[in-house]
Structure 1
């Protein structure tokens, strides 16, 4: 297959080059500088600031902790993770909602840290949970804190890249009422305060998905930053090839920085491994 995006620069980020720490209860890999892992060459990519691939043992997790001025989201790959606002104590949760949610595969939990929020994320099951924790830099500081949780269809992910996050439709100057309405640019997605689209797909063996840069939802049309990540979910059996390039083949845990692209460009992602490939797209300004 010839390159469709000859003008694009694609630089793999190998899994073995990521930051890594095993704390016993938490086994974590960092694509960007985070906590005790400092890498001045990998501080951010566009508005994408954090991409951690975490495994948390049963009965453990992240106790109540604060966040501020960050858009934070968790993409569950396997297992169960319970999110609760700091005001909600265990045993008094009530029904699942934005401030309390027991997440499973297919769920995405989103937090606008804004001017300050506190929550916990605990694995209250007896099995390990595997998830991606992702942070983006918002387009404004001091936003009103918000939570959103939504389940995304596995079948839809097997048909094409399924958008999960898209920019708040009202944009940077949103009124208080528009913030409360929380309408995303793309229907059935979670709104984010950033010029960013997140999508996920599950690509069958020998199949190819196409991602249209910008996802028809962004304000910044030129100089997009697209990060592709292949999580470690199939014991090494997944493999993808980007834009038909032999030097852009990604194995599990690998990612790739795609730069020099503009909204409307089409990036092909081909599954060439022995198992269907789960692929996460993070497309930012």
Structure 2
């Protein structure tokens, strides 16, 4: 049985019609049309131009849809959560309460991850010299903030206290975001430097405890990123925790005896 295949050509021209080329995305070319495209540079160029326009239109539509989508995470909510969990400004160290674990919602853990990672490199140093009374709850948070500021100052990094809601509020979201990212980079550089050069404490148990905490931060960040995968703040929290974890693994490897390797912690 013979089957006739009709190629959509222009009557007075051996080329494919413009309408046929434009319909390529929902009407695949036939074998004869593909053979014609392989040998006709003009039709091939027209097809490529139409494909580029379709791709550009799709990208612009996606960008507009993303711009109109509601923000899943607001910095004001994160700041409110931080103020509700731990004081941001320095305060005198109070008597310790019995040690306990307090798990905030995943969203608040991810918001606080940057502060915890920034102090991670000096928490081990602090743990060896702190009394048992300072090792719990809000006392550890206050002492960690003070140690971070002192260590960064010794490393040549200028630190100044910032209070929320005062007369020095930022002028725009972009300005506040830029300051946040710059501060994060400074904290990361200083923390990694301290983790590599601080020789005052080489206790493998301190590194193991820090690694366990960093694993929990990364898990909390991953859970938050499942709901907001493109959120830049959450992505930075995850990357900061990952960077600190890699530096701690290296420090733990250096603290172990030569004949031992890291199998688990």
User: Shorter-normalised TM-score: what interval?
Assistant: under 0.3
Give the structure with the higher percent helix.
Answer: 2
When the two structures are superposed, what TM-score results if normalisation uses the length of structure 2? 0.23
Give the structure with the higher percent strand.
Answer: 1
